[in-house]
Structure 1
Amino acid sequence: MALTLEQLNAAPLQGAVAMLEGVYEHSPWIAEAALAERPFASLAQLKHAMVRVLAAAGEDAQLALIRAHPELAGKAAVSQQLTAESTHEQSKAGLTDCTPEEFARIQQLNQDYNTRFGFPFILAVRGPRGTGLPRREIIETFARRLANHPDFERAEALRNIHRIAEIRLNDKFGHEPALGNDVWDWHERLAQHSDPGYAEQGQLTVTYLTDAHRACAQRISHWMRESGFDEVEIDAVGNVVGRYKPATEDGKYLMTGSHYDTVRNGGKYDGRLGIFVPMAAVRELHQRGRRLPFGIEVVAFAEEEGQRYKATFLGSGALTGHFDTTWLEQQDADGITMRRAMEHAGLCVDDIGKLRRDAARYLGFVEVHIEQGPVLTELDLPLGIVTSINGSARYVCEMIGMASHAGTTPMDRRRDAALGVAELALYMEQRAGQDAGSVATMGMLQVPGGSINVVPGRCTFSLDLRAPTDVQRDALVNDVMDRLQTIAQRRGLQYTAELTMQAAAAPSDPAWQQRWEAAVQALGVPLFRLPSGAGHDAMKLHEIMPQAMLFVRGLNSGISHNPLESTTSDDMELAVQAFSQLLGQLAAEMD
């Protein structure tokens, strides 16, 4: 019979510790310390009480916990000396059915890993969905993590231990993250569509108005109808728009959503999480036959990434009235204009201007998004409240010096363009570190026609400068550009710098941010606020209505725009619950 929180809260301490036996391998002290925080109002609150206990325990206790875990398919498994929990988990992942070649590979990895780190490799082999990882993925993860820094790998081992504990708690309490599983499954099914050249390699790429893109739109529109939306349409730029009507005909709408296009060889959750989380919440309302004092408009934006055409935020820009008609004549790599692609997709170009939303008909815009960074996962927190979307400025630059022979040109006679750029890169790192939330990146750095024995005469590079406010961004930009000029003058170099993009910061609306905060706190999840360094569709909607965002933790150090991008069905479940809490709060305010 499944355990209940009421039983756990009411039990004597040692009885409660016994109820949680096996959650953390051979370490009942974690449960005992966490139980001091009783009563627990939610399973999430219990999970994070245990996370905090381990975080405060110190490195020695953490290493002892890691070393209490068995190796994957190791000696303990062979001799059947695993705990019941570990036996179940390794069996569910198929590690008890390894081929001789797989078994030999894992044994070698175990040996290499222990030699490098001094503790066993820990992986939550039941995976983000809880159903078990494929053996191939386990082996690939094992090999990849061998290259990590020891400090990072110790933290990664602890994160996986917390995931193992989360799944074990779910089993004890009979908790199935059903909504999170549905959201997970939607992502998996949508990821079956990928552009030619990438699909064959098992890579996810969905760019604007390709066959894969249009198939995604059809799939999303179908799921919206199944979920109970009253109206579903694909608009003149390819956005999929679903509306769940308010209780009264004159009710305003809350807009939400995100994009369904991807970068090339990207991840499954960037953008799409912000479509499926509210879709699940609307489905819950529909199944209960509940209408709210406001309607819900979920928009799956057709384009945000700017991959096929240089038209970033095309989908959300059309809703704010900022669709640039000159984009229609842009050509993709195959010479196909955007206008032609739209016409081929059956979109009505003449109707684009009609998509502009009347802000007076909307209460605001909220967006759920995977964090795309390491902060939440390093803090072992499932959700985060976004305070602002950073303002940004991008430049394409060139440093011009004088090419010369690497062997015959004395160091004090050189006009080395690459060293000038290298000096600027180091300054950017130091300068951005002075401000809370500022970041500076030189993502492209190239010596055109460079040779190993030639002092570089030219160096092309990019600048990407971001900060939570426009004032802070502009100060960063000014300091970096001033230093660029100073470096060039001192080294006898010349430079060019072309501003290619500038976006204003989008601070979260205080009232909407507070609603997100109240929703997260109602789940028993610790409250954490952070800025968004990445751009989002919310930046565009910010131009005409109040907005605020909720971040969901990503796995694998929060990597995004990458096949390793991931999150768990448990975290997705919490995101759906937080979204539903926000809807409930807003309805109560309006009533």
Structure 2
Amino acid sequence: MALTLDQLNAASVPEAVAMLDGVYEHSPWIAEAALSERPFRSLAHLKHAMVQALQAAGADAQLALIRAHPELAGKAMVSQSLTAESTNEQSKAGLTDCNPEEFARIQQLNADYNTRFGFPFILAVRGPRGTGLPRSEIIDTFARRLANPVDFERGEALRNIHRIAEIRLADKFGAEPTLGHDVWDWHERLAQHSDPGYAEQGQLTVTYLTDAHRACAQRISRGMRECGFDEVEIDAVGNVVGRYHGSAPDAKYLLTGSHYDTVRNGGKYDGRLGIFVPMAAVRELHRQGKRLPFGIEVVGFAEEEGQRYKATFLGSGALIGHFDQTWLEQQDQDGVTMRQAMQNAGLCVDDIPKLRRERERYLGFVEVHIEQGPVLTELDIPLGIVTSINGCARYVCEMIGMASHAGTTPMDRRRDAALGVAELALYMEQRASQDPGSVATMGMVHVPGGSINVVPGRCAFSLDMRAPTDAQRDALVADVLAMLQSIAQRRGLQYTAELAMQASAAPSDPAWQQRWEAAVQALGVPLYRLPSGAGHDAMKLHELMPQAMLFVRGLNSGISHNPLESTTSDDMQLAVDAFSHLLKQLAAENA
């Protein structure tokens, strides 16, 4: 029979410790220390109390806990001396069914890992959805983490231990993140669509108006209809728009959503989480037959990443009237203009100006997004409140020198375009480090037609510069562009620098930020505020209406724009619950 929080809160300390037996491997002291936080308001509250208890215990106790865990498919499994919990987990991941080659590989990894780190490899083998990781993924993760620094890997081991504890607690309390599982599954299904050249390699890439992109739009549209949205359409730029009407015909709308395009070889959750979380919340309203005093408009923005065309935030920009008509003549790498791509997709270019939203028809804009950084996961906090989005400027550039023979051109006679770019990259690193919160990235560097024995005559590159305020960003940009000019003059080079995108810093609206904070606190999740270094569609909507964002913790050190990008169905469930709570607040305010 499943435990309840009421039982745990009412029990004596020895009884409560017994109830929580096995949550942390051979370490009942963690549960005992966490019980001082009773009464627990939610399972999330209990989980974090145990996280804090371990954190407060210090490095020696943490290392002892790591060493209390068995090796994966190790001696304890072979001798059948694992705890019942570990047996269940390793069995669900199929580790008890390893073939001889897999078993030998894991044994070698165990030996190598213990030699390098001095403690066993810890992985929550039941995975982000709780159903078990494939053995191939376990082995790949094992091998990848062998390269981590020791201190980092100790932290990664503890984060996986907390995930193991989270799953074990859910088993004890019979807590199933049903909505989180649904959102997880929706991501998996959408990730089946990928552009040619990437799909064949098992990589996820969805760029604007490709076949994969259009297939994603159709799948999201169908999903919205199945969730009970009253209206679903694909608009003139390819945004997928779903509306769930309010209780009155003239009701205003809450606008929400995120993007469904991806970077090349990216992750499954960037952007898409902000579409599926509100879809799940709307589906619950529809199932309950509920209408709110306002409508809910969920938008899957067609383009945010700027991968196929230099038109970042195209989808959300169209909603605020910021669609640049000159974009239509841009060509992709195959020479296809945006206008042609839109016409091939059946979109009506003439209708784009009609997409602009009227401020008075909306309450505001909220966006749920995976954090794309390490802060929440390192703190073991599932949700974060975004205080502001950093301002950003992007440039597409080219350095132009003189191609010449690599063997016969003396070093003092060269006009090497690539070296000029390299010098600028080092300056960017030094300059951005001077300002708190500033970052500068040269994400693309390419020598067109380069050869191993030719001094580069041309070098194409990108600049991405971000800062917490517009003034700080502008100062960074000015210094980097001035250095670009200086390097070019000194080295006898020429250059071009085209502004591809500029977005102002977007502080969260205080009232909307407070609503997110109230929602998170109602779940018993610790309140944590942080800025966003990444750009989001909320930056564009910020220019038209108040906005605020909710971050969801990522796994694998919070990595994003990477196939390792991940989060758990438990954290997705919390995001849906927080979004639903925000809806309840708005309903009470607008009753």
**Counterpart amino acid of 2:36?**
A
Question: Secondary structure at the residue paired with 1:576?
Answer: helix
Confirm or deny: 8 A CA contact 1:365 1:545 kept in the other structure: yes
Matched, 1:243 2:243: yes
Matched, 1:500 2:487: no
Between stretches 129-138 and 365-374, larger displacement belongs to: 365-374
1:219 counterpart residue number: 219
Cα separation, 2, equivalents of 1:408 and 1:241:
59
1:512 deviates by: 0.9
**Counterpart amino acid of 2:384?**
G
**Counterpart amino acid of 1:582?**
L
2:170 counterpart residue number: 170
1:229 deviates by: 1.1
1:390 deviates by: 1.3
Confirm or deny: 8 A CA contact 2:90 2:96 kept in the other structure: yes
2:277 counterpart residue number: 277
1:530 counterpart residue number: 530
1:134 counterpart residue number: 134
2:8 counterpart residue number: 8
Cα separation, 2, equivalents of 1:333 and 1:409:
35
**Counterpart amino acid of 1:526?**
P
Query: How do residues 202-351 of structure 1 correspond to structure 2 at under 5 angstroms?
Result: 202-351=202-351
Question: Secondary structure at the residue paired with 2:530?
Answer: strand
**Counterpart amino acid of 1:577?**
D
**CA offset digits 1:535-568 (Å, max 9, x no partner):** 2111221121111111111111212222111110
Question: Secondary structure at the residue paired with 1:51?
Answer: helix
Question: Secondary structure at the residue paired with 2:549?
Answer: strand
Confirm or deny: 8 A CA contact 2:390 2:467 kept in the other structure: yes
Confirm or deny: 8 A CA contact 1:71 1:121 kept in the other structure: yes
Cα separation, 1, equivalents of 2:457 and 2:25:
59
Confirm or deny: 8 A CA contact 2:129 2:569 kept in the other structure: yes
Cα separation, 2, equivalents of 1:426 and 1:328:
35
2:470 counterpart residue number: 470
1:87 counterpart residue number: 87
**CA offset digits 1:151-190 (Å, max 9, x no partner):** 1111111111110000001001110001100100111111
**Counterpart amino acid of 1:44?**
A
Cα separation, 2, equivalents of 1:510 and 1:311:
30
Cα separation, 2, equivalents of 1:472 and 1:240:
35
Q: 1:492 to 1:228 in 2, by over 3 A?
A: closer
Confirm or deny: 8 A CA contact 1:399 1:421 kept in the other structure: no
Q: 1:590 to 1:565 in 2, by over 3 A?
A: same
Cα separation, 1, equivalents of 2:461 and 2:195:
30
1:363 counterpart residue number: 363
Cα separation, 2, equivalents of 1:153 and 1:61:
16
Between stretches 532-541 and 449-458, larger displacement belongs to: 449-458
Confirm or deny: 8 A CA contact 1:393 1:499 kept in the other structure: no
**CA offset digits 1:345-394 (Å, max 9, x no partner):** 22222222211111110011111111112221122111111122211122
**Counterpart amino acid of 2:161?**
I
Question: Secondary structure at the residue paired with 2:142?
Answer: helix
1:158 counterpart residue number: 158
1:474 deviates by: 1.2
**CA offset digits 1:375-433 (Å, max 9, x no partner):** 2112211111112221112232538699897899689x998776665554444334323
2:145 counterpart residue number: 145
Over aligned residues, Cα RMSD in angstroms?
A: 2.5
Matched, 1:518 2:512: no
Matched, 1:398 2:399: yes
**CA offset digits 1:122-146 (Å, max 9, x no partner):** 1000000000001111111111111
Cα separation, 2, equivalents of 1:451 and 1:249:
65
Cα separation, 1, equivalents of 2:337 and 2:430:
43
**Counterpart amino acid of 2:480?**
V
1:244 deviates by: 0.8
Confirm or deny: 8 A CA contact 1:364 1:545 kept in the other structure: yes
**Counterpart amino acid of 2:199?**
A
Matched, 1:113 2:113: yes
Question: Secondary structure at the residue paired with 1:194?
Answer: coil
Gaps of 5+ in 2: none
Confirm or deny: 8 A CA contact 1:390 1:469 kept in the other structure: yes
Confirm or deny: 8 A CA contact 2:399 2:420 kept in the other structure: no
Query: How do residues 334-483 of structure 1 correspond to structure 2 at under 5 angstroms?
Result: 334-395=334-395, 396=397, 398=399, 422=422, 424-445=424-445, 461-483=461-483
Cα separation, 2, equivalents of 1:386 and 1:370:
11
**Counterpart amino acid of 2:39?**
P
Aligned residues: 589
Between stretches 547-556 and 197-206, larger displacement belongs to: 197-206
Gaps of 5+ in 1: none
Between stretches 568-577 and 149-158, larger displacement belongs to: 149-158
Q: 1:417 to 1:189 in 2, by over 3 A?
A: closer
Between stretches 568-577 and 209-218, larger displacement belongs to: 209-218
Confirm or deny: 8 A CA contact 1:17 1:28 kept in the other structure: yes
Q: 1:335 to 1:137 in 2, by over 3 A?
A: same
**Counterpart amino acid of 1:126?**
R
**CA offset digits 1:177-218 (Å, max 9, x no partner):** 011001001111111222223222222222222222222222
Q: 1:191 to 1:432 in 2, by over 3 A?
A: same
Q: 1:54 to 1:231 in 2, by over 3 A?
A: same
Matched, 1:580 2:580: yes
Confirm or deny: 8 A CA contact 2:420 2:491 kept in the other structure: no
1:451 deviates by: 7.8
Cα separation, 2, equivalents of 1:196 and 1:401:
36
Q: 1:220 to 1:449 in 2, by over 3 A?
A: closer
1:105 deviates by: 0.7
Cα separation, 1, equivalents of 2:414 and 2:208:
47
Give TM-score scaled by structure 1 length. 0.93
1:44 deviates by: 0.4
Between stretches 93-102 and 220-229, larger displacement belongs to: 220-229
Cα separation, 2, equivalents of 1:481 and 1:369:
32
1:336 deviates by: 3.0
Matched, 1:553 2:553: yes
**Counterpart amino acid of 2:69?**
H
1:494 deviates by: 4.9
Q: 1:541 to 1:99 in 2, by over 3 A?
A: same
Confirm or deny: 8 A CA contact 1:232 1:243 kept in the other structure: yes
Q: 1:57 to 1:544 in 2, by over 3 A?
A: same
Cα separation, 2, equivalents of 1:500 and 1:55:
46
Question: Secondary structure at the residue paired with 1:530?
Answer: strand
Cα separation, 2, equivalents of 1:580 and 1:24:
32
**Counterpart amino acid of 1:154?**
R
1:328 deviates by: 2.5
1:200 counterpart residue number: 200
Between stretches 299-308 and 153-162, larger displacement belongs to: 299-308
